[in-house]
Amino acid sequence: MLQFYAMNELLFCIQILLIVGFALGALKLGRAALTGWVVILALIANLFVIKQITLAGFHVTASDTFMIGSVLGLNFLQEYFGKEEARQATWITFFFMLFFVLVSQIHLLYEPSPYDTTQTSFQTILSIAPRLFIASMTVFFIVQQFDIAFFAFLKNRFPHRSFALRTTVSLVLSQFLDTLLFSFAGLYGIVGSLLDIIFVSFCVKLVAIFLISPFMRWAKT
């Protein structure tokens, strides 16, 4: 029988494959699908960050691969549809994240029916949402603007380098910035060990990025 963390690692790999597969599918569907993909993954990442899991014996959040997928979608948009489309996707994501924060807090204000059994669960998940989403929206905006600018620099400076290589380099730097900023802004005082989260989350992101990178050549086919 697989140990708990071994099962988590298997699920982690399956999750990466799903994200890559759907990212490539969104690319084939076009600009609107990619924009929707960026928005959905950003929302999922900020919900799933609340849950802590164990990977290789370390306590980390369960959302790292989703944020990578969101940035990957931005890189696809910039590579195939232009820098302005990627910037617009960032603002659209920001807009809908703000909407989610507002409606989630209204949802908590509803008086539950005597037959309702979900209010406690919603309070557990959504009561810390304002802090997480405010921190995330701020960090997301900073990181995505950095990624868009840095990816454009790589594209102009190294036009003959492969998309996979440029994407890998931009993802590594943007995810380091994302991990550092969001860990302090969104998770300080919530998680058990902030240093573990920063170190291991970035390592997990590195693993995810380098597992995703070989599939990027398919984006050109």
C-alpha–C-alpha distance, residues 66 and 24, integer Å: 14
| Secondary structure (3-state) at 14 | helix
pTM reported for the whole predicted model: 0.81
Q: Between helices 31-48 and 129-157, what is the axis angle to 10°? A: 140
Q: State the pLDDT confidence band at 212, using cuts at 50, 70 and 90.
A: confident
Phi, psi of 180 (to 5 degrees): -65, -50
51: alpha, beta or left, given left = phi > 0 and alpha = psi -120 to 50? beta
Q: Could you report the per-residue pLDDT of 131-187, keeping only the tens digit for each? A: 777 787 788 788 888 888 898 888 888 877 778 888 888 889 998 998 888 888 776
pLDDT for 213: 78
Q: Could you report the per-residue pLDDT of 77-120, keeping only the tens digit for each? A: 988 898 899 889 989 988 998 898 889 889 999 999 999 999 98
